[in-house]
Amino acid sequence: MTSIMKALDSVDSFVWGPPMLILLLGTGLLLTWRLGFLQVTKLGKALKLIFTARNEGEGDVTSFKSLCTALAATVGTGNIVGVATAVTSGGPGALFWMWFAAFLGIATKYAEGLLAIRYRVTDEKGEVSGGPMRYIELGMGARFKWLAVLFAIFGAAAGVLGIGTTTQANAIIDACLGAFSIPRAATAIVLTIVVAAVILGGLKSIANVSSKVVPFMAVVYFLFGLIILIIHIDLVPGAFALIFKSAFTGHAAAGGFAGAAFAAAIRNGVARGIFSNEAGLGSAPIASAAAKTKWAAEQGLISMTGTFIDTFIICSVTGLTLIVSGAWMGESEIRGAQMTQAAFAFGLPSIGPQVMTLCLILFAFTTILGWAYYGERCVSYLFGTRSTLPYRILYIIIVGCGVFLPLDFVWTVADITNGLMAFPNLVALIALSGVCVAETRKYFDHLAEQKK
């Protein structure tokens, strides 16, 4: 197993090396420029559309449920474990680079949502199908179908082998064992049954559950994190100062782990940030394609709020509580979720750890649901709609068996499959950036006409 892990680590380092990070940030920068810094000028309208979109077009679910399905997959263990890992390895400055990547990522997520609607199709079951595999083939042309096939292969693998199943199941099982002393096998059985009950019902079942659970878990996590920051408001200005200083100078961490250099802060902030908000991976547009809307740009605006919510709200709460509490400089054996749990215990000793554990369980559970849909859409593209049910059954089985796989192996495979998904998607976003500009202009011209 050691030799396998070494090989996987080498592949992971290559996939998430400087070329990928430059491509991710470069794509976001290009789209930000061509769309006129839309994440600044139109963010208010985008947030308003979450609740006011008319849902008048074709589609399978409302725009709100589509967003919740995307957020279900996006807001996961990366918001707790990933942020803690980034701050541990890259110092507090990693949080700044997480914000920077998310700022550019909002434009990326906008383009993904727009193209998902612009190039979506209806399959033989009468269900909407869209995402990178569709806008690569239909937007870039049939000669690039091989790139669409690659995305679909990597997307299905990421769902069933990586971020969708094993990582999340392990997080839930470990959390239940540590917080409530529930045996791992018992949690695995219950989790498998509940997941099966939801995903066998298809997108509408997943969207119905997500639209109820996602807002609840996000609000609870944010409010309790905010309470901790308010209780220790005197430490918050110093935390921000440390974040910005460390972002450009690196920071020598205490507590036994290595000092974080400038490059480490950038790499960990960007990589963990992308892992958390998924901007550029191409996953969220698969859910966006199912939204009931007539305007591609309108869904693009709604989609981009997902990155804002994920990183600037949820991840920021995690990062700031870690720094304010000093948990990021704690004992070397405390890592990931345990570190965030220590931060919540610092602020709210009586209930903080329990609240954090509950949120972690919900975050991981909804991610399992969201990625089940992503994976089945990719498999359906590759093999037709008849492959949907077998994929769901395989997905459920792996959720139940994921507890038996080594955690390092699980996370490394998730990292690799995520990175492999991103490349075909980013190529398409660059190639179709002109379409994004044209659709955006058409939508806002329409709104201007309505006001006359």
pLDDT (tens digit per residue) in 176-191: 877 778 888 888 899 9
The confidence score (pLDDT) of residue 255 equals 41
The confidence score (pLDDT) of residue 10 equals 85
pLDDT (tens digit per residue) in 258-315: 444 556 667 777 777 776 778 888 888 998 888 888 889 999 999 999 899 988 999 8
Confidence of residue 341 (pLDDT cuts 50, 70, 90): confident
The confidence score (pLDDT) of residue 336 equals 65
The confidence score (pLDDT) of residue 262 equals 59
Average pLDDT, integer, range 44-68: 83
Q: What is the percent of the chain with per-residue pLDDT over 70, rounded to a whole number?
A: 92
The confidence score (pLDDT) of residue 437 equals 96
Average pLDDT, integer, range 404-417: 75
pLDDT (tens digit per residue) in 226-273: 999 999 999 999 999 999 888 877 654 444 444 445 566 677 777 777
C-alpha 256: how far from chain center: 30
pLDDT (tens digit per residue) in 84-108: 777 877 788 888 988 998 999 999 9
Confidence of residue 331 (pLDDT cuts 50, 70, 90): low
Confidence of residue 72 (pLDDT cuts 50, 70, 90): confident
Q: What is the percent of the chain with per-residue pLDDT over 90, rounded to a whole number?
A: 34
Confidence of residue 26 (pLDDT cuts 50, 70, 90): very high
Average pLDDT, integer, range 400-416: 74
pLDDT (tens digit per residue) in 111-126: 999 999 999 988 777 7
pLDDT (tens digit per residue) in 180-224: 788 888 888 999 999 999 998 888 888 888 888 888 888 899 999
Confidence of residue 28 (pLDDT cuts 50, 70, 90): very high
The confidence score (pLDDT) of residue 108 equals 95
CATH topology for 12-451 is Amino acid/polyamine transporter I (1.20.1740)
What average pLDDT does the structure give for the chain?
A: 85
The confidence score (pLDDT) of residue 260 equals 42
Confidence of residue 443 (pLDDT cuts 50, 70, 90): very high
Confidence of residue 7 (pLDDT cuts 50, 70, 90): confident
Q: Is the pLDDT higher at 115 or at 419? A: 115
Confidence of residue 452 (pLDDT cuts 50, 70, 90): low
pLDDT (tens digit per residue) in 129-168: 889 999 999 999 999 999 999 999 999 988 887 777 887 8
Average pLDDT, integer, range 398-422: 78
